Amino acid sequence: MKKWINLFVVLALMVLVISISVVGAPKTWVVGFSQIGAESEWRNANTFSVQHAIGEDPTLLLVFSDAQQKQENQIKALRSFIARKVDCIAFTALVETGYGPVLEEAKRAGIPVIMIDRDVAKEDRHLRLTIMGSDFVEEGKKAANWLADYLKKKGLDDGKKQINIVELQGTVGSAPAIERKKGFEEAMKTHPNWKIVRSQTGNFPRSEGKAVMEAFLKAEKNINVLYAHNDDMAIGAIQAIQEAGLKPGEDIIIIGVDAVKGAFAEIMAGRMNCTVECSPLL
């Protein structure tokens, strides 16, 4: 008899301990994050920022997906988050358009969507809760305003002689590409002698920036400035300029955006002139 009582007491204590631990444990919120890829130093820093911040919080569990620069992979990942009934979806929009239907599905499922870095198209923004990102238009303006100051300081712009600019755009249809172009061109309006003689997407990676810059150098004999929508393309272009026998940072003024470590190394080496900060620590 005594043995049965002891067993009962032990079992009761076990149930009590388990129930306290379950009841007392804080709820774990599951966050599905769809990242677009690993195309640049900036993107890798951004991925680290999200993974580290969520990893540090014991009440958050991260489900991470890398879309490898394909929108269809992103949409599949978002649908898998919805099917898994995550508590929140976070994602960077590779390009602005094409997310309406999946955002409608998330809304119907009652799952809040937070944009990190790149937003979706205006017509779909009512479907997402908010965005954490930078002002890309302002970054484009800063690049142009820095150039104006630099040319003035160096006595390179008399307001009449044409200043030939080539532009390496980011991913076609992405918010940073659209808005950094817009901001730069808005600031250009006060410099009628500035001309963007070539503008083409390099899609953000270094390799593509280099390839497009090689084409620019073949097509244009007198390039004064390169405006690249990110530092990685600027760094690729610097290699192309050197291989063409020109001095980047001197023969051609080099401007990038992101302020990644690689850009600071090029600036310190005298091969790059400016990078506009865009924090990845979101």
Closest CA to 167 of 144, 191, 142: 144
**CA 99/CA 175 separation, integer angstroms:** 14
- Shortest distance, position 190 Cβ to ligand GZL, whole Å: 25
DSSP 124: G
**CA 206/CA 234 separation, integer angstroms:** 7
Question: In this structure, are strands 274-277 and 29-35 parallel, antiparallel, or unpaired?
Answer: unpaired
Q: Judged by CB under 6 A, which of 96, 117, 157, 179 binds ligand GZL?
A: 117
Q: Locate 89 and state its tokens.
A: 């979806």
In the block, which residue shows the tokens 């990110």?
230
- Shortest distance, position 39 Cβ to ligand GZL, whole Å: 5
Question: Binding to ligand GZL by residue 39, rule CB under 6 A?
Answer: yes
In the bound state with ligand GZL, the residue whose beta carbon lies nearer, of 31 and 115, is 115
Q: Judged by CB under 6 A, which of 176, 183, 202, 248 binds ligand GZL?
A: 176
Query: Which residues are within 8 A (CB) of 28 and not within 5 positions of it... i.e. 6 or more apart?
Result: 59, 60, 61
Q: Site map for ligand GZL, 203-222, x if CB under 6 A?
A: -x------------------
Q: Site map for ligand GZL, 131-170, x if CB under 6 A?
A: ---x------------------------------------
Question: Binding to ligand GZL by residue 258, rule CB under 6 A?
Answer: yes
In the bound state with ligand GZL, the residue whose beta carbon lies nearer, of 8 and 48, is 48
Q: Judged by CB under 6 A, which of 31, 33, 35, 43 binds ligand GZL?
A: 43
Q: Given the rule CB under 6 A, which of 35-43, 106-114, 123-131, 181-189 is the region that contacts ligand GZL? A: 35-43
**DSSP strand E in the chain: where?**
29-35, 60-66, 88-91, 113-116, 130-132, 163-169, 194-201, 225-228, 253-258, 274-277
Q: Judged by CB under 6 A, which of 230, 259, 267, 276 binds ligand GZL?
A: 230
Question: Binding to ligand GZL by residue 74, rule CB under 6 A?
Answer: no
CA 177 from chain centre, in angstroms, equals 10
Closest CA to 245 of 270, 261, 279, 221: 221
Closest CA to 271 of 224, 220, 234, 223: 234
Residues forming contacts to ligand GZL in the complex (CB under 6 A) are 39-40, 42-43, 117-118, 134, 176, 204, 230, 232, 257-258, 278
